Amino acid sequence: MSLVGYNSNIIITIALISLLSACTIENSLKENQNKRSGESQAIVDARQFFSEHPEYISSAELEQKLYREFAQVTTVPAYKEMSMYQLLVISQDRLTH
């Protein structure tokens, strides 16, 4: 193989690696954005729940009970795709019934 052919192969290889790296980086950025968006929505959901149910903020005992119930609810496979707000409402419902 001539030096020119060898250099062409190196350039093509580097170009392909760069292209693949860019795709991987773009996918990682999208995943990070989706994760941040999900985390942001969870914060919004939690704020909404606690603004509707301030008793859990003013009582450490009630907050602990809600937290324990929430920890159990989050292990239920059927609830896996639910929002933070929905999980908190289910936790509260299980506490009160």
The 10s digit of each residue's pLDDT in 33-76 is 656 666 788 899 999 999 999 998 899 899 999 999 999 999 99
Q: What is the DSSP letter of 80?
A: T
Q: Are 58 and 51 in contact (CB under 8 A)?
A: no
Q: Which domain holds residue 71?
A: 3-96
Reported as a single tens digit per residue, the pLDDT across 14-26 is 655 655 555 555 5
pTM (2 decimals)? Answer: 0.61
Helix (H, G, I), strand (E, B) or coil at 82: coil
Query: Based on C-alpha coordinates, what's the Rg of the chain?
Result: 25
Number of domains the chain is built from: 1
CA-wise closest residue to 72 among 97, 44, 92, 52: 92
